[in-house]
Structure 1
Amino acid sequence: MSIISSFSDLKLNTWIVRQLHTLGLTKPTPIQENCIPAILKGQNCIGGAKTGSGKTLAFALPILQRLCEDPYGIFALILTPTRELAFQIADQFAVVGKTISLRMCVVVGGMDMVTQGQELARKPHIVVATPGRLADHLESCNTFTLKKLQFVVFDEADRLLSGQFSEQLETIFAALPVKKQILLFSATITDDLKNVKELAGNEYFTWDCRNDVATVEELDQFYVLCPFDVRDSYMVETIRTFRQKSENGSIMIFTDTCKNCQLLSMTLNEVGFDNVALHSMIPQRQRLSALSLFKSDVIRILIATDVASRGLDIPAVELVLNHTVPSDPRDYVHRVGRTARAGRGGTAVTLVTPYDIRLVHAIEAAINARLKEYQVDDKEVATIMTQVSVTKGEAEIKLDETNFYERKLINKRKKLILEGKDPDEEEESRKQYLNKKRRKRRKEHNAIVNSKLL
């Protein structure tokens, strides 16, 4: 077997190799070394490797090579579960494909559909899309066709094929040609990917970078045991403790819901930790702006839901802090994969309540490693507990008074009408429930403030 020492050994065109050299890339990673030759031979491919292993270029380079041999649009479709990942993939295609005047289109939610439709009508070479928005375009207009494309790529394929996007994928596949090359890439090879013979045909190349440990050796993994009702205070103290060792290190905090994400962001800003939030209830331009501020180190704390756990290339994150323990060990692997990338060191700390012990054991079994205890000062937690609780209570009251759930409510009204229900009656019932909840929250908040005064 020949030894691969450069991209030239993969029989990539000279212009691609030269462009990679300008980016400082001279030697292919294992997934690139194994998958690129198979893709160039015309094989369907299933590739699995840890986050940060160069999966995007593993499919982008052979697609660009085939494109330059017979350029036309729409040549390839790349599907991905999140908007931010779609823009990131498009950026990588654009940088390498600059030499051949590559035309691209990003089709995601939160952006103007008319503009996207016009871009699709101009027949770009590469379309990078989230399934929901692309399905909307296919159902609402006929100004473009996917019937002549050569490649369909599923990035983060395990999530795309988990069932969450089944309806949209059905619409998309009905618009695709029978003959096409299907490429599936993911950080974790799941049963959904192992059973894709029907999807990818009988002949496909599979490469999985197997390792007994699902996380890298350079990653130090810890837990902080804390009572459920003071988890936020332990989060603040964990940040303070970490800041004593790394004053300017970048921190990503993961939590479970959009509302929690927004509340934690508001709370931390109030207690002196500047941050930005990233979740699906934020307008797309603000999401991209938040990510840009964090990547450029203007803001050094990013609070996010799992929308930011997969695929995003943020190389300098020093700490990943899990505010909530993910219910699926694979989500833990993706979250902590945001740090300790490309051979760098990194730290992951998970806040664990007594209700989370079973989840932690499942994570330890999945990664074949034990989490160590991260030392925080319980006395310091006690001194900030009231301040953090009051601040979060005030943030929750402010959030209730905004239109935070406006877009969600509009979609809900549409759904209720389709179901034959009266949205106004449902809305009145919801308002009564929220008013009752607000009165209770204000009462609890006032009780905490009064106890502090006493």
Structure 2
Amino acid sequence: MSFSSLGLSEWIVRQCAALRFRRPTEIQLHCIPPILQGKSCMGCAKTGSGKTAAFALPILQHLAADPYGIYALVLTPTRELAYQIADQFRAIGKPIGLRVAVVIGGMDMMRQSIELSSQPHVVVATPGRLADHLQSSDTFHLQKIKFLVLDEADRLLEASFADDLSVIFDAVPTRRQTLLFSATLTDALKDLKDLAGEKPVFYEAKSEIATVDELHQKYVLMPAKVKDCYMIHLLRHFCKKDDCSVIVFTSTCRNCQILAQLLSSSDFSCAPLHSLLSQRSRLASLAKFKSNQVKILVATDVASRGLDIPTVQVVLNANVPADPKDYIHRVGRTARAGRGGLAVTLVTQYDVKRIQAIEKRIGTTLTDYSVAEKDVLTLLNEVTIARREIELKLSKSSFGEKREINRQKRKFLEESLAAKKHKMVLTPRERRRKTKSKIPKSTQKNT
């Protein structure tokens, strides 16, 4: 089966060949034809299965036939994924002069507003920043979009995005094609067929194993107190190869920063990626890793969703995620597009139940990765002292406090705006009562 047999235009088929898309994947095979026919679609498939192209190709074919802006809106949960989706749209849409705007937090809002007012063909956005633009600006609108795409839809449908999505859904037309894609199918996603319009096409690439066959999944069992030693020992082993590329996943921003500094002090070339970094720093870390300037990316789950970095050979889980779904997305950063890959998870005595839940969810069993404990324990004093020094420095630098201050400022502004809005909708009688209550009693008697 070829791309031309799916009903795609000749220029798109040529672009697919130029980008080395050799043949349609399963999700593309079942979702592209109905989208071309004008139907809404919900697609679920493993990570690395080509979901972005499954919605980008038919959108660009429709756009080429009737180009105008803003034609399509793509929502995504993370900033890094927004840039990646935009890059893929630009690469495929280059022959038609496609204009794409990326609207995310952490970047200049005025510049984004000017870009939106110039009516780009495709807007790729995170919900929070786009909702801010819709509420504060009238220089653009979304009433004429033909496509609304929710990529990583299961994550977008969590409660944290609910208010922002409500603002966006009120701003888009009811007559549109809605496309929902995800690597993991949740109950919330199953219940959202109404969002996709009448009788959406639903396709799930079913498999007893939730991860790809080319991925080798291992675990290392250890006491919690020596976990950092095991991590450094494993990384030294992996990084013996000159072309080795590793993502180390951890649970919190603080631990991500600590591990990145700990690895740097152990002479590893690495970069951190977490939400407490500025957007420029996040993009710089990702660019260094993609260009192989650093071999190790230490990241929180902001890097686990959808990022396509073909050179990643190893994923090392420094903690066992509480939700098996997060594990699936993490290990999906390697063994992409038919390539092999290795995922190693550091397991302590407190993580056994979590590992059992993961094995049940993915439909396969993790195997033991052999490590010589005596070699690991030689690092104990060095690593313990280095970690304590780094934690002390972070505490003195008030790491993370700026974010809390900004959160309090946002809360104060939201409460002020809500109070102002309430004041504006008072009835004339309520206004008179409120004005009278502010007049001193002695003055009220005289009047």
On whether the aligned pair clears a TM of 0.5, the verdict is: yes
Please give the residue correspondences for 1:274-423 in structure 2 after superposition, counting only pairs within 5 Å: 274-402=269-397, 404-414=399-409, 417=412
Matched, 1:257 2:258: no
Deviation sequence 1:335-372 (CA, Å, 0-9, x none)? 11111112221111111111110000000111111111
Instruction: Quote the offset at 1:406 in angstroms.
Output: 4.7
Instruction: Quote the offset at 1:420 in angstroms.
Output: 8.5
Question: Structure 1 stretches of 5 or more lacking a match?
Answer: 422-454
Letter in 1 for 2:20: G
Deviation sequence 1:61-102 (CA, Å, 0-9, x none)? 110111111111100000000000000000000011111111
Deviation sequence 1:227-277 (CA, Å, 0-9, x none)? 112211111112123335x45311110000001000000000001111001
Instruction: Quote the offset at 1:25 in angstroms.
Output: 2.1
Kept after mapping to 1: 8 A contact 2:42/2:196? no
The equivalent residue for 1:446 is none
DSSP-derived class of the 1:195 partner: helix
Letter in 1 for 2:174: V
Distance 1:11 1:420 in 2: 52
The equivalent residue for 1:39 is 35
Distance 1:351 1:12 in 2: 45
The equivalent residue for 2:213 is 217
Kept after mapping to 2: 8 A contact 1:241/1:376? no
Please give the residue correspondences for 1:81-120 in structure 2 after superposition, counting only pairs within 5 Å: 81-120=77-116
Distance 1:79 1:6 in 2: 29
Deviation sequence 1:94-127 (CA, Å, 0-9, x none)? 0111111111100001100000000000011000
Letter in 1 for 2:283: L
The equivalent residue for 1:177 is 173
The equivalent residue for 2:15 is 19
The equivalent residue for 1:163 is 159
The equivalent residue for 2:423 is none
Deviation sequence 1:151-170 (CA, Å, 0-9, x none)? 00000011111222011100
Distance 2:304 2:245 in 1: 15
Deviation sequence 1:2-25 (CA, Å, 0-9, x none)? xxx211111111111112222222
Distance 1:243 1:177 in 2: 51
Distance 2:107 2:410 in 1: 21
TM-score, normalised to structure 2, is 0.90
Kept after mapping to 2: 8 A contact 1:12/1:62? yes
Kept after mapping to 1: 8 A contact 2:32/2:55? yes
How many positions carry a matched residue from both structures? 416
The equivalent residue for 1:69 is 65
Distance 1:243 1:152 in 2: 42
TM-score, normalised to structure 1, is 0.89
Distance 2:90 2:242 in 1: 35
Instruction: Quote the offset at 1:399 in angstroms.
Output: 1.7
Output the aligned Cα RMSD. Answer: 1.6
Distance 2:275 2:305 in 1: 14
Matched, 1:227 2:223: yes
Question: Structure 2 stretches of 5 or more lacking a match?
Answer: 417-447
Kept after mapping to 2: 8 A contact 1:255/1:306? yes
Greater mean alpha carbon deviation, residues 105-114 or residues 233-242: 233-242
Larger Rg computed on CA atoms: 2
The equivalent residue for 2:184 is 188
Kept after mapping to 1: 8 A contact 2:304/2:333? yes
Letter in 1 for 2:207: N
Distance 2:371 2:175 in 1: 58
Evaluate the alpha carbon distance shift between residue 420 and residue 188 of structure 1 in structure 2; reply closer, same or farther with a 3 A threshold: closer
Instruction: Quote the offset at 1:417 in angstroms.
Output: 3.8
The equivalent residue for 1:428 is none
The equivalent residue for 1:50 is 46
Kept after mapping to 1: 8 A contact 2:153/2:180? yes
Distance 2:399 2:293 in 1: 25
Evaluate the alpha carbon distance shift between residue 166 and residue 416 of structure 1 in structure 2; reply closer, same or farther with a 3 A threshold: closer
Q: Identity of paired residues, percent?
A: 55
Matched, 1:271 2:266: yes
Distance 1:413 1:221 in 2: 42
Distance 1:102 1:83 in 2: 21
Letter in 2 for 1:260: N
Letter in 2 for 1:309: S
Letter in 2 for 1:268: L
Distance 1:162 1:306 in 2: 15
The equivalent residue for 1:125 is 121
Letter in 2 for 1:46: M
